[in-house]
């Protein structure tokens, strides 16, 4: 969750507000939503790996349950950030947990899909490997006092991952002869993940002066 602007309107001095306390370290609503996403991850894994039929009598197959759990968890990724910015409740804990929750969810989903035989292992390796590589670059950049802004490729990657996981879970059972859409979708994820990693690496290199220019005092490029 990224820091947003302060709420509109001045507040009386000397009054301690609950959202101020939350910003100072308490677990607030946006952070609880992030924690819920973390706890939904093992639920998704169990649904996908066991492929239980216990709810089929009421019309809920394991595919439907898996998609619902995954989409619910994915929606919390948007909701926690939106609430944190709107309520001015950005916390260090939330900033730390949010990317962890995201990576746990997507990694668990793709690894489970490999295990049940609907996704290729090498593709998932590229997708997850990209996350570790970019995180490593981000840590190095942070240690050098450099902040690299997120690019539009990151948003494309996130959307493509959600679409691919949903299509792969539904598979032939729901898509029929259109189940090839899942294979196409994961190819798109691999391509977008690779492009977004390359974009981040180029920005990182330029900021450090490795590619084009040199590093100015304070970490900026000139």
20-70 pLDDT per residue, tens: 444 445 788 989 999 999 999 999 999 999 988 888 788 889 999 999 999
The per-residue pLDDT for 72 is 96
Q: How confident is the model at residue 219 (pLDDT cuts 50, 70, 90)?
A: very low
How wide is the angle at C-alpha 100 spanned by C-alphas 98 and 103, nearest 5°? 110
Instruction: Specify burial of residue 92 (Cβ count, 10 A radius: 0-12, 13-18, 19+).
Output: exposed
Q: Can you give the pTM of this predicted structure?
A: 0.77
| Distance from C-alpha of 167 to C-alpha of 111, rounded to nearest angstrom | 15
**Mapping DSSP to helix (H, G, I), strand (E, B) and coil, where does residue 215 land?**
strand
Q: What is the pLDDT of residues 74-116, one digit of tens each?
A: 999 889 888 888 888 888 888 888 889 999 999 999 999 999 9
Angle between helices 152-175 and 92-115 (to 10 degrees): 40
DSSP H helical segments within 51-151, as ranges? Answer: 62-86, 92-115, 121-143
How many CB atoms lie under 10 A from the CB of residue 134?
Answer: 20
For residue 8, CA distances in Å to 4, 80, 87, 88, 172 come to 12, 20, 10, 10, 51
Evaluate if residue 192 carries a pLDDT over 90.
yes
């Amino acid at each position: 969750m990224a820091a947003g602007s302060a709420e509109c309107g001045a507040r009386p001095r000397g009054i301690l507000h609950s959202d101020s306390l939350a910003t100072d370290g308490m677990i607030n609503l946006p952070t609880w939503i992030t924690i819920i996403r973390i706890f939904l991850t093992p639920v998704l894994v169990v649904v996908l790996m066991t492929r239980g039929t216990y709810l089929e009598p009421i019309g809920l197959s394991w595919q439907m349950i898996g998609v619902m759990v995954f989409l619910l968890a994915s929606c919390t990724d948007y909701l926690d950030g939106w609430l944190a910015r709107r309520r001015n409740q950005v916390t260090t804990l939330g900033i730390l947990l949010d990317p962890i929750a995201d990576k746990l969810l997507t990694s668990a989903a793709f690894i489970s899909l490999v295990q049940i035989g609907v996704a290729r292992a090498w593709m998932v390796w590229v997708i997850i490997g990209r996350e570790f590589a970019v995180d490593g670059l981000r840590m190095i950049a942070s240690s050098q006092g450099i902040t690299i802004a997120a690019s539009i490729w990151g948003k494309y990657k996130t959307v493509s991952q959600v679409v691919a996981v949903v299509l792969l879970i539904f598979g032939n059972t729901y898509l029929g002869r259109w189940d090839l859409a899942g294979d196409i979708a994961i190819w798109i994820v691999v391509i977008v993940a690779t492009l977004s990693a390359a974009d981040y690496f180029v920005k990182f290199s330029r900021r450090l002066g490795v590619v084009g220019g040199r590093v100015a005092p304070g970490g900026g490029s000139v």
